Amino acid sequence: MTSISGKVRYRIVTGLLYPASLGAALSWWVEAATRRPPEGQDGPIPWAMWFGVWFLVYHGVWYAHLIGEHTEPSTLFNYPARRFASDLAGVGAIIGGFAALGFASGQYYLYLPGVFAAAGFIPLSALLGHRHRRLGNSALIIIAGLAAATGVAAHLGANASVFTSLDVTLLREFWLVLLAYLFIPSVFGTKTEHTKAGGFTGEIYGVE
C-alpha cells in the first residue's frame, strides 16, 4: 500500500471504489423502496430503510468532500497510506452495511451484528485517518463507537436477527451524531478552512 503513490491512491478511491460502492448501495436501496416483495415474503422494515439512508448520507457527504479536495493543488501528492486505509474502511462499511441489512441479496434478512459492525467502521475510519486527534475532539468517535459496540453485543448468538426497541434507540443516536457532525462541526473540534460561493473547500471535516 505504501508503494503506491498518493496520486494513484486518491484516484483509486475517488474514481473507482467510492462511486462503485455508493452506486451499488443506492441502487439496492431504490430497489428495496420500490419493489413489491413476492407473496409470502416480507420486504425491508422501515428501520432498515432509515439505516440505509444513514449510510448513504454519511458516505455521500464524505465522497463529496473527497472530490472537493481535487481542487487543492497538493491533494494528489498528500494522500498518505493512512488516509487510503481510512477510506477503504469507509467503502467496507457501505458494502458490509447493505449486505447485513439484506439489501444486497434482495432477501431483506437482517443480520444485526453485521449492521452495527459496519456502522462501527465509521469511527474506525476516523481513527485511521486522524491518528493524533485530541481526546477532547473525539466525541464523534466515542459516541458512534459505543453505539456500534452496544448493537453488536446485544445481538450476538441467537439474537442475531431479533429486532428490539434498543435498535430503534441506537439508530436515533446514530442520526443525532450525524446531524451534529454535519451542522455543528465545532462540537467535535472540526473546522472549515473557508467558504466560497459554490460550497466549501479545504479540510471541511478535518480535525484541528
What grid cell was written down for 53? 439512508
pLDDT, residue 188, reads 47
120 grid coordinates: 462501527
Q: Kindly list the averaged pLDDT for each block of 10 residues, start to end, along the chain of length 208.
A: 71 91 96 78 88 94 79 59 88 95 90 95 79 58 90 91 94 91 61 39 34
pLDDT score at 77: 56
Instruction: Annotate 31-70 with b (16+ C-beta within 10 A) or e (fewer).
Output: ebeeeeeeeeeeebeeebbebbebbbebbbebbebbebbe
Report whether 144 contacts 90 (CB < 8 A): no
**Element holding 12 (H helix, E strand):** helix 6-12
Query: What pLDDT score does 137 carry?
Result: 54
Residue-level pLDDT at 70 = 59
Residue with cell 501528492: 77
Q: Is the pTM of this model over 0.85?
A: no
In 10 A of CB 190, how many CB atoms? 17
Q: Which three cell numbers stand for residue 26?
A: 443506492
Listed in sequence order, the residues at least 6 apart from 60 whose beta carbon sits closer than 8 Å to its beta carbon are: 22
Write down the pLDDT at residue 143.
85
DSSP 36: P
Residues 6+ positions from 139 with CB-CB distance below 8 Å: 187, 188, 189
Q: What is the grid cell recorded at 6?
A: 498518493
Q: What is the pLDDT of residues 113-145, one digit of tens each?
A: 999 999 999 888 877 766 555 544 567 778 889
